[in-house]
Amino acid sequence: MKTLAASQLSILAVFLCLSLSAAPVSWVFASEPDSNRQQELQYLLKQDCGSCHGLLLKGGLGPPLRAQDLKDKTPAYLKQIISKGIPGSAMPPWENLLSDSDIDYLVQLLSTQSSPSTQ
Ligand code: HEC
C-alpha cells in the first residue's frame, strides 16, 4: 500500500514537471503580455482610457496621461490607481478586467509614450 502511494506520487510529480515545462514561460512567470495582448492593451489605452482621458491622452474628463504629465508619479502609484480606481471619482478600477502583468504593461506604456500609438 505504501509503495503504491509512493509510486503514484512520483508519477504525479513527473506529470507536474512535464506540464510545467510545456507551459509557455509567460504562464509560469507573470512577465510581459505576449505581442497580441500588447496590441489589445494599446487599443484599450486609446479607446477605453482615451474615452475619458482623451484619445491622445491629453486630458478630458480625466487628467492628461502623457509621459510628461506623469513624470512625477511612481509606477507603484500608477499601478495602484489603475487597479483600484479613484473612489468617489469617475476613474474606475480595472483589476477585475486586467491581469497584473496587463496593468504593469499599461504603466510601462504610460511612462514611456507621449501618446499611444496612432495605428
Ligand atoms: C469613466 C472615465 C475614466 C476612464 C474610462 C478611465 N479614467 Fe482614469 N481617471 C478618470 C478621472 C475622472 C480621473 C481623476 C480623478 C480624480 O483625481 O478625482 C482619473 C485619474 C487617473 C489617473 C491618475 C492621474 C494622476 O495624474 O494622478 C490615472 C493614472 C488614470 N486615471 C489612468 C487610467 C487608465 C490607464 C485608464 C484605462 C485603463 C483609465 N484611467 C480610464 C476617469 C477615467
Mean pLDDT of 55-65: 96
User: What distance in angstroms lies between residue 32's CA and the mean position of ligand 1's atoms?
Assistant: 23
Q: What spacing in Å lies between the alpha carbon of 91 and ligand 1's midpoint?
A: 4
Decide whether any atom of ligand 1 lies within 6 Å of the 97 Cβ. no
**With 0-12 CB in 10 A as exposed, 13-18 as middle and 19+ as buried, what is 82?**
buried
Question: Is 19 touching ligand 1 by the criterion CB < 6 Å?
Answer: no
Q: Is residue 108 part of a domain?
A: yes
33-42: long-range contacts, CB 8 A cutoff, minimum separation 24: 33/99, 33/101, 33/102, 33/105, 37/102, 37/105, 38/105, 41/98, 41/102, 41/105, 41/106, 41/109, 42/109, 42/116, 42/117
Give me the domain span that covers residue 3. Answer: 1-29
Q: Are residues 63 and 10 in the same domain?
A: no
pTM of the predicted protein model: 0.79
Q: Are residues 22 and 48 in the same domain?
A: no
CATH number at residue 65: 1.10.760.10
Asked whether residue 12 falls in the same domain as residue 50, the answer is: no
Q: Report the residue among 42, 53, 96 best suited for mutation to probe ligand 1: largest number of ligand atoms under 8 A from its CB.
A: 53
Is the CB of residue 86 below 6 angstroms from any atom belonging to ligand 1? Answer: yes
Rg (alpha carbons) of the chain, rounded to whole number: 20
> What pLDDT score does 119 carry?
42
pLDDT digits (tens, 9 = 90+) for 87-112: 999 999 999 999 999 999 999 999 98
Is 117 within a domain?
no
Q: How far apart are CA 38 and CA 44, in angstroms?
A: 10
Which residue bears the cell 490607481?
81
The structural domain count of the chain equals 2
2-58 pLDDT tens trace = 566 666 656 555 554 445 555 454 445 567 899 999 999 999 999 999 999 999 999
100 with 48, same domain: the answer is: yes
89 lines ligand 1 (CB under 6 A): yes
What average pLDDT does range 63-89 have in this prediction? Answer: 97
How many whole angstroms from 62 Cα to the centroid of ligand 1? 5
Q: Whose CA is nearest to atom 8 of ligand 1?
A: 91
My answer on whether 24 and 68 are in the same domain is no
